[in-house]
Amino acid sequence: MTQYLIRRLILVIPVVLGVTFFAYSMVLLTGDPATALAGQHATPQMRAALREKLGLDDPLPVQYGRFLARIAQGDLGTSLISRIPVATELRLFFPATIELALAALIIAIVVGVPLGVIAGYKHNSFADLGTTFGSLIGVSMPIFWLALILLWIFGLKLGWFPFGGRIDRSVDLQIITNLYILDSMLTLNVRALLSALHHLALPAIALATIPTAFITRITRSAMLDVLGENYVRTARAKGLEEKSVVSRHALKNAMLPVITVIGLQIGSLMTGAILTETIFAWPGMGRWIVNAIVARNFPVVQTGVMVFALIYVFVNLAVDISYGWFNPRIRYS
Amino acid sequence: MSGSLAETELRGFARSGTEDRSQGVSRSLFWDTLRRLFSNKLAIVGMLMIGTVILVALTAPWIASQHPDKNGVYRAFPQDNKLPPSIDHPMGTDVIGRDMLSLVIYGARISLLVGVFAVSLAIVLGAFLGAVSGFAGGTVDNVIMRIMDIMISFPTVLLALVIVVILGPGLFNAMVAVGIVAVPAFARITRASVLGETGKDYVIAARSVGAGARRVLWRHVMPNTLSPIIVAASLGIATAILDAAALGFLGLGAQPPTPEWGLLLSRNRGYMFTSPWMVFFPGLSIMFLVLGFNLVGDGLRDALDPKLD
| pLDDT score at B22 | 45
CB of B194 closer than 8 Å to CB of B225? yes
Look at residue B80 and tell me whether its pLDDT is greater than 80.
no
| pLDDT score at B292 | 94
C-alpha distance from B273 to closest chain A C-alpha (Å): 7
| pLDDT score at A322 | 79
C-alpha distance from B290 to closest chain A C-alpha (Å): 5
The mean per-residue pLDDT over the stretch A148-164 comes to 86
Look at residue A103 and tell me whether its pLDDT is greater than 50.
yes
Helix, strand, coil distribution of chain B in percent, nearest 5: 75, 0, 25
**Most confident by average pLDDT, A97-101, A290-294, B67-71:** A97-101
Look at residue A273 and tell me whether its pLDDT is greater than 80.
yes
Residues in B lying within 8 Å of A, measured between beta carbons: 42, 146-147, 149-158, 161-162, 165-166, 238, 242, 245-246, 249-252, 262, 265-266, 269, 272-273, 276, 279-280, 282-284, 286-287, 290-291, 294-295, 298, 308
| pLDDT score at B237 | 93
What's the pLDDT tens digit per position in B15-42? 444 444 444 455 677 777 788 888 888 8
Strand, helix or coil for residue B182: helix
CB contact under 8 A, A136 and B298: yes
Percentage of chain A exceeding pLDDT 90: 15
Look at residue A60 and tell me whether its pLDDT is greater than 50.
yes
The mean per-residue pLDDT over the stretch B211-238 comes to 85
Look at residue A191 and tell me whether its pLDDT is greater than 70.
yes
What's the pLDDT tens digit per position in A227-270? 888 888 888 888 888 888 887 778 877 887 888 788 778 777 88
Look at residue A155 and tell me whether its pLDDT is greater than 50.
yes
Residue B150: which of A15, A137, A293 has the nearest Cβ? A15
CB contact under 8 A, B262 and A141: no
| pLDDT score at B50 | 94
| pLDDT score at B79 | 63
Q: State the ipTM, two decimals.
A: 0.85
CB contact under 8 A, B251 and A274: no
Q: Which residues pair with A78 in a beta bridge?
A: A85
| pLDDT score at B309 | 40
Mean pLDDT of chain A: 84
Question: What's the CA gap between B127 and B104, in Å, rounded?
Answer: 33
Look at residue B4 and tell me whether its pLDDT is greater than 70.
no
The mean per-residue pLDDT over the stretch B76-84 comes to 67
**Most confident by average pLDDT, A31-35, A313-317, B81-85, B292-296:** B292-296
Rg (CA), chain A: 24
Look at residue B306 and tell me whether its pLDDT is greater than 60.
no
Using a CB-CB cut-off of 8 Å, the residues of chain A touching B246 are 142-144, 271, 275
Residue A309: which of B153, B282, B283 has the nearest Cβ? B153
Q: How confident is the model at residue B52 (pLDDT cuts 50, 70, 90)?
A: very high
CB contact under 8 A, B147 and A275: no
CB of A248 closer than 8 Å to CB of A312? no
CB contact under 8 A, A270 and B166: no
Question: What's the CA gap between B244 and B160, in Å, rounded?
Answer: 9
Question: What's the CA gap between A138 and A136, in Å, rounded?
Answer: 5
Residue A145: which of B156, B283, B294 has the nearest Cβ? B283
| pLDDT score at B11 | 43
Look at residue B284 and tell me whether its pLDDT is greater than 90.
yes
| pLDDT score at B6 | 41
C-alpha distance from A280 to closest chain B C-alpha (Å): 12
C-alpha distance from B31 to closest chain A C-alpha (Å): 25
What's the pLDDT tens digit per position in B162-221? 898 888 888 999 999 999 999 999 999 999 888 888 878 888 888 888 888 888 888 888
**A·B CB contacts under 8 A:** 132
Q: A119-128, A208-217, B120-129: lowest mean pLDDT where?
A: A119-128
Residue B242: which of A142, A221, A294 has the nearest Cβ? A142
Strand, helix or coil for residue A85: strand
Using a CB-CB cut-off of 8 Å, the residues of chain B touching A313 are 153
Cα A228–A233–A235 angle (5° rounding)? Answer: 130
How far out from the chain centre does Cα A322 lie?
Answer: 19
Using a CB-CB cut-off of 8 Å, the residues of chain B touching A285 are none
Query: What separation in angstroms does the CA of B99 have from each of A31, B33, B81, B275?
Result: 39, 42, 10, 13
| pLDDT score at B3 | 39
**Distance, first Cα to last Cα, chain B:** 29
- Closest CA in chain B for residue A139: B291
